[in-house]
Amino acid sequence: MIRLERAPLPADTAAHLTTYTDRIERTAEADRKAKAADLWAHTTVRRRVRGGLLATLADMAPGHQRCMYCGDSQGTDIDHFEPKSLAPLRTFEWLNHLLACAYCNSNQKRNTFPRSERDGSPLLLDPTLQEPLEHLRLILPVGRYKGLTPQGEACIAVFGLNSRGVLVDGRRTAYATAKQSVELWRIATDRGQHDKAAEIVRVAWNRPLADVLAAMFHQAGHRTAELLFTGEEETLGLLRDQDLRAAFLSRV
């Protein structure tokens, strides 16, 4: 999971969302859940809003339309961050929509939406509002996440970030590939091959599991970086190179 910027919607899509939200608001409170579900499933409604939502979410997503939760699979579903069954008035709210893969949306999250027992705030992270790196630390060599906060721990549990072997194995491979990318960038730059260096950066961020690359740069600036990169001092040196950081992080 990496930080994302929310983009503006096409004007017609935004107008339709407002219209359908108004319809739900005018419905008796006891009937709003059913009304929201009916509207969202209605063929005409979906035709009016789905295209604009998906296109905008796809532009916001990491890599080539990757899931905003796991970062691995293609995002195919419009996920309601706060499920419409729990918050029908947010069914057509743009700020409540994220792009998810079918597995994260239908197999993992479903209608799960844990809240803090202390103040009732959401425990899941919205990457368009929060910096996931402040809540999750990726143990790079093993490909597993450690929760730094209750929100981070909730995301690990709800999305199966450590229990899905394909994700853990994929992150280990992504780490090896990302290390190669920074090495190749340094070589290309030293040779004056700046177009090639730029292409290396573009490809690195467009691969699945870009959260690994983001974690590498984040941890390289941590006060305990020498411990985090024990035995990988060469990689740490590259990640601290200011020109390399500028080249890679300008895309984030």
Model pLDDT for residues 123-157, shown as the tens digit of each residue: 999 999 999 999 999 999 999 999 999 999 999 99
What was the pLDDT predicted at 153? 97
Which domain-ending residue is among 46, 80, 109? 109
Band of residue 252 on the pLDDT scale cut at 50, 70, 90: low
| Domain boundary residue, one of 109, 135, 151 | 109
Task: Write the CB contacts of 232 (distance below 8 Å, at least 6 apart in sequence).
Answer: 179
Among the candidates 65, 80, 109, a domain finishes at 109
Would residue 172 count as lying in a domain? yes
- Split into its structural domains, the chain has a count of 2
Q: Which two tokens stand for residue 130?
A: 């929060």
Helix (H) or strand (E) holding 213: helix 211-220
Q: Please tell me the distance from the alpha carbon of residue 190 to that of residue 32, in angstroms, as a whole number.
A: 62
Give domain status of residue 155, yes or no. no
Write out the residue range of the structural domain in which residue 231 sits: 164-249
Confidence tier at 250 by pLDDT (50, 70, 90): confident
**Is residue 43 a part of any domain in this protein?**
yes
Give per-residue pLDDT as tens, 85-115: 999 999 999 999 999 999 999 999 999 999 9
d(CA 227, CA 154): 26
Same domain (yes/no): 101, 168: no
As a whole number of angstroms, the distance between CA 233 and CA 97 comes to 41
- Taking alpha carbons only, the member of 180, 116, 243 closest to residue 125 is 116
Give yes or no: residues 103 and 180 share one domain: no
The model's pTM is 0.91
Domain membership of residue 125 (yes or no) is no
Contact predicate 185/201, CB 8 Å: yes
Decide: 77 and 116 in contact? Cβ < 8 Å: no
Amino acid 251: pLDDT: 64
Claim to verify: residue 169 and residue 232 sit in the same structural domain: yes
| Residue 161 in this model has a pLDDT that exceeds 80 | yes
Rounded distance between C-alpha atoms, residue 246 and residue 185, angstroms: 12
CB 216 within 8 A of CB 239: yes
